Structure 1
Amino acid sequence: MKSSSFLLLVIVWMVMESRADLPGTWELLVADAGIASMHTAVTRFNTVVLLDRTHIGPTHKRLTQRHCLKDPVLKRDCYAHSALFDLTAGKIRPLMILTDTWCSSGQFLSDGTLLQTGGDGDGVKKIRRFTPCEPTSFCDWEELEDAELSQGRWYSTNQILPDGSVIIVGGRAATSVEFFPARRHGGAVNFPFLAETEDTQIDNLYPYLHLLPDGHLFVFANNKAVLYDYKKNVVLRKYPQLDGGPRNYPSAGSSVMLSLTGDYAAATIVVCGGAQYGAFIEKSIDTPAHGSCGRIEATKPDSVWEMEDMPFGRIMGDMVMLPTGEVLIINGAQAGTQGFEMASQPCLYPLLYRPDEPAGLRFMTLNPGSVPRMYHSTANLLPDGRILIAGSNPHYFYNFNAEFPTELRIEAFSPEYLLQEKANIRPTIIELPEKITYGGDFDILVTTELPVVGIVEVNIASAPFATHSFSQGQRMVKLRVSSAVPNGLGAYRISCTAPPDGRVAPPGYYMVFAVNTGVPSVAKWVKLH
């Protein structure tokens, strides 16, 4: 007994030591948010919209009695299924959602309003709107009465376009696209690519959409991708098939478009992870996920997928663009598939994907968390450079006694660039215009404790709608900048040029980060128009 106990202590010590040696830190932000956030979005007022679904039974956050709803599960539902988290005060207040937002989609509009579309049941054709406000003011969900989707959309994807409108693509039994506001022709437009990518598991749900700097859409579903001219409803190019099996829901991998930079002509797409085909049909929770990643320069003629492997197989991982242009891969499991109680072996280790390194050296394993984040978990970049981690409910209702219980804790993961020993090179933005215009020049003023060496980057990041392992509308643009010029009292002035047009960065609110030697500032919000 003594020897086995000693061996156990040695193993625990080794695990703790290995964790201590890996970059990144974790902190608990909220012990009980009241709801498990299936959908998460960060607003320009540094608040976070948390959104689950209705018809799920009781949550831990109550509404006032006068706001109770009729509900097929509870008959009289007095529980909140959405909430607003104030990052500064650490407080959460309930929001009122009327129709079912289960597996719905969303996107911020150019005026900062959060558009929310579709869902299940009574929400399948619904369009909702949340207009963010200062934390000291009151704002809530509005369900539009004068507009609805022309086709029911469950598991669809939204993307803001260069003119500020939104395209809504796909969904269960919806092989079409439509727009908000509705186009003159009205209704849905057939998109045959979605029918072509259906299989017996319907692995084309929540398609990956990326707006390329030429104004066309890169659309990925199942294991195929096309270049889509949404104005003419024409497929301009079919990309090579990505090996490794299906990548979209329910075989969920994840995808990002890497930072746009230079002359903004090139765009590179990365797709990582996914479940083995058949795991969903067979409800096999133990089938190992695969860890392959494909990378393709979508704007280059005749480009092909460059393949590499992550250190772990992973499904339901979230890919988050960091202010530096690197990518954080976090959350998910190493076996099974998406769906209720259909995954096992949580993947607690985040990965850092460094796109400028050569293949084989791009992945760095980071400090693991301790909370399994399985089905219906999310990850979002915060203005201070941390990553907010929320959700995880692999059950139809809330279940706190299962092997992987419904998760109401909200955490933050701090990448290595936020280590205390790097604090003296972290810049602070002290002057920035509230609005910038396409192609216009503007200055920002930053300070640092130590003198600036080299170029301070100025990078802008959108605030996406994160759900089901894909951040809808996620975008990072590295601006053209001059060298930092000393401006007295430890301050530096940096001249910047805004993106040239809405194809490079659609109109709206962006987080602006100054990045000094790989260390980002706290972001300030700017409106691009």
Structure 2
Amino acid sequence: MNAFRRQATVLLGSLAMFALMTTYDAKAAPNLVDNAGFEKLDSAGWPKCWEKSGWGNGTASYQVVPDAHGGSKAVRLTVSGVTVGDRKTMMYETPSCAPKVTVGRQYDLGLWYKTNTPNTVLTAFRHDTVSGWQYWTDLQTLPVTGTWTRSTVRTPQIPPNTDQITWGAAVYGNGTLTTDDYTMEDATVPTPPPGGCTAGDACTKGSWQVQPTNNPVRSMHASVLSNGKVLLMAGSGNDPDLFAAGTFTSAVYDPQNGSFTVVPTPVDLFCAGHVQLSDGRTLIMGGNKAYPAADGSHGYEGLKNSYIFDPATNTYTATNDMNDGHWYPSYTELGNGDVLSIGGLREDSSGSVTQELFSDATKQWQSLGQVNQTWSYFGLYPSMILMQDGRLFYTGSHVFGNGTPGTGASIYDYNANTLTDVPGLQNKDQRDQSMSVLLPPAQDQRVLTIGGGNVTTNPDANRLSDLIDLKAASPAYTPGPLLPQGTLTGGAPETGAQGKMYVSAVLLPDGKVFETGGALHNRADPVYEASMFDPATNTYTPGMATDPVPRGYHSAAFLLPDGRVMAIGDNPGNGTFEMRISIYSPPYLFQGTRPKILSTDSTHWAYGSSHRITTDTPIVKAELIRPQAVTHSSDPNQRFVDLPLTVNADGSTSLNLTTNPNLAPPGFYMLYVVDAKGVPSVATWVHVM
């Protein structure tokens, strides 16, 4: 895809866009579109309940024309002279004709169109009862056609606080688009009544199983690979004796048969950073150059080394070195496939203020002069989440001690090299070993940050949750619900405001977030509690089944392609390491037969493309979930990308991928479909490029 199209992806993007936006009046009839065929005109000769909207530096011509699909009128939009835009937000008044919608429901949108430009998308706005009108999502890219062609697409589930939507066809390039005969119908599939599950508590709580074979390595790093296996990295495994002996280990786990393959490991990758590259291999950056000296002359020291792990051969290959040492660095893939790494400890044990950029095109770390620098210290494993406009959100989640100066959270614009404080994060200096996730779907741009403590002052860990809408004009955290209380070692109940640090949060294919693991204090007092967070209601459901194995420091939990959750690790203060592996089956796996993806037209997906799949049963939604690369309660790249769908006449389903690579950075993704019971399929792998 050319650079022009890759950048013209959101209404806050960098290219001129002109849009013909529909506005409606909700009716009792099945079609919710008022004046769907443009037959009723106002005194100025323009169709009633429709508006002209646009931004950018080109010119746009709007016409009512007799070349209609039905009736006597259609609307034609011609755009010319478009160059790079001025990043203005698209402005329009609150539509007086927008239909009312119901939270949680889905709607089928349709139109007839002709266009001579591939830069045409079906895009939607929503009215938030708290913050007003805002961009919602691009739904579908419309193929070029010179004859009247019908296009239909099903919306995602209507997000919380939404009471109206408006949508239409947008042109973000030069060309002509003619549209007519719009439709909007409620397409919500009723959820089957409960009562089919006979698995007891597992029906509502899920179930854990401790695996019969132990982990062969002291892994505190896990990366789900593009072949469905899991890379478990230990390095020296936080064991100075193994470091002194040069014993560095990794293993590849196969969830299908429970087998392990021990992998030769070149250096001490203990506390490195790692992220999936666009080609499906795993980039590892930094690691441990030295443990603290007995005489206090230095602390932990960071490596400059970097490696790429290839799942096809189970081998590490060295890249060029980074500019600085990094122990506990961040790792975020950008929309162009590059990787930005920030923070950690340098070779001399001081905090690194050197930002590193790995070029996806050359598979090399860039020299210092090629990388923008703020010379700011973000701490260890600072959670940096890529936003839809290409900026990075530092969530305030980190490890070891206090957060950054100021509010504890910020937005970093790499291209402009600017930092902006984000207010509202509660108790910012006790969010050590908290976890942050971009909530499902990524298009909503909402982040949840949960739990945390402070290894320096070592108070009781907290139960705090914070929520933020990154699409707001001035994003700010607001308090979320408290984490449910759990039990400590031996079954003692928690009291007061006790919560957890070292917490894990995993995005599930039904759109929920599974919260598990953690401890009350630094490397002590594991907490046995698990809950399910619902982004649609901003609530936790307590009382999920709990992992019987303690999961505190150096633990991790992550989603497997079959929809289960795997948990590893625990490294308490006495230096031992938990080698048992636990696997959680969420409640949806006890609700009956799972839908199956029978076929896909392609496993290579371009941005803005539509792909036809067949399933053995009707589905209500589909999504891509990025495979996790997690350590120390940190995976800033974890994301769930909604795929608006079209139900075809032959019973197949077409899935529509966003045009915005910032929403779905390039790489391999797990494709899930979900039926009306909320039961997901086993994933099919697709490569987004």
Which TM-score bucket, shorter chain as reference?
0.7 to 0.9
Match of 2:308 among 118, 122, 129: 129
Compared CA separation, residues 93 and 219, structure 1 to 2 (3 A): same
Sequence identity, in percent? 29
- Deviation for aligned residue 1:231: 1.9
The reply on whether 1:301 has 2:465 as its aligned counterpart is no
How far 1:471 sits from its partner (Å)? 1.5
Q: Does 1:157 align with 2:330?
A: yes
| Structure 2 CA distance for aligned equivalents of residues 497 and 438 of structure 1 | 9
- For 1:58 and 1:35, the matched residues in 2 are separated by 15
**Corresponding residue for residue 494 of structure 1:** 653
Q: TM-score, normalised by structure 1?
A: 0.79
Greater RCO (CA < 8 Å, at least 6 residues apart): 1
Partners of 2:610 and 2:243 lie apart in 1 by 56
Tell me whether 1:175 sits opposite 2:353 in the alignment. yes
Report whether the alignment pairs 1:524 with 2:678: no
* 1:407 counterpart = 2:571: no
Deviation at 1:326, TM superposition (A): 1.1
Matched, 1:515 2:515: no
Q: Distance in 2 between matches of 1:166 and 1:242?
A: 26
Whole-Å separation in 2 of the counterparts to 1:502 and 1:183:
22
* CA displacement 1:250-293 (0-9 Å, x = unmatched): x21100011236xx3x4111101011x5xx224x4xx3211010
Residue 247 of structure 1 contacts residue 254 of structure 1 at CA under 8 Å; is this kept in 2? Answer: no
Change (3 A) 1:48 1:72: closer
Map of 1:119 onto structure 2 = 287
1:318 aligns with 504
Q: CA deviation at 1:226?
A: 1.6
Q: Is the 8 A contact 2:202 2:587 kept in 1?
A: no
Task: Count matched residues.
Answer: 445
The 1:446–1:58 alpha-carbon spacing in structure 2 relative to 1, beyond 3 Å, is: farther
- How big is the shift at 1:396? 7.6
CA distance in 2, matches of 1:210, 1:116: 18
Counterparts of 1:189-200 in structure 2, within 5 Å, are 189-194=372-377
The equivalent position to 2:230 in structure 1, one of 23, 31, 48, is: 48
> Which letter maps to 1:471?
D
What letter corresponds to residue 306 of structure 1 in structure 2? T
1:468 matched to 2:632 = yes
Q: Secondary structure at the match of 1:520?
A: coil
Bigger radius of gyration, 1 or 2?
Answer: 2
Measure how far apart 1:187 and its partner are.
6.3
Change (3 A) 1:72 1:511: closer
Distance across 2 between alignment mates of 1:472 and 1:303: 18
Letter in 2 for 1:318: S
Deviation at residue 365 of structure 1 after TM alignment? 2.7
1:233 aligns with 2:417: yes
Q: CA offsets, 1:495-515, max 9 Å, x none?
A: 111121311111110000001
Contact 2:516 2:546 in 1 (8 A): no
SS in 2 for 1:328: strand
Structure 2 unpaired stretches of 5+: 1-199, 291-301, 346-350, 360-364, 397-402, 486-498
Match of 2:450 among 267, 272, 278: 272
Distance (whole Å) between structure 2 residues aligned to residue 72 and residue 184 of structure 1: 30
CA deviations over 1:463-487 (Å, ceiling 9, x no partner): 121000011411110011123x574
Query: Once the 2 structures are TM-superposed, how far is the Cα of residue 149 of structure 1 from its aligned partner?
Result: 1.0
Contact 2:226/2:281 (<8 A) preserved:
no
Q: Which amino acid aligns with 1:496?
A: L
The 5 A counterparts of 1:419-458 are 419=590, 422-424=591-593, 426-432=594-600, 433-448=602-617, 452=618, 456-458=620-622
**Which structure 2 residues correspond to residues 29-428 of structure 1 after superposition, within 5 A?**
29-54=211-236, 73-74=244-245, 77=246, 81-121=249-289, 124-133=303-312, 138-144=313-319, 147-172=320-345, 173-181=351-359, 182-183=365-366, 186=369, 189-194=372-377, 204-221=379-396, 222=403, 224-235=408-419, 237-246=420-429, 248=431, 251-260=432-441, 264=443, 266-275=444-453, 277=454, 280-282=455-457, 284=458, 287-307=459-479, 308-312=481-485, 313-333=499-519, 335-337=520-522, 342-344=523-525, 346-357=526-537, 359=538, 361-395=539-573, 397=575, 399=576, 406-419=577-590, 422-424=591-593, 426-428=594-596
Is the contact made by 2:623 and 2:671 (CA closer than 8 Å) also made in structure 1? Answer: yes
Structure 1 gaps, min length 5: 1-17, 60-70, 196-203, 400-405
1:183 & 1:394 partners in 2: Cα distance?
38
Q: CA deviation at 1:55?
A: 7.1
The offset of 1:220, in angstroms, is: 2.6
Residue 524 to residue 55, structure 1, CA distance change in 2 (3 Å):
closer
Give the aligned CA root-mean-square deviation in angstroms. 2.4
2:271 alignment partner, SS class: coil
Conservation of the 8 A alpha-carbon contact between 1:150 and 1:188: no
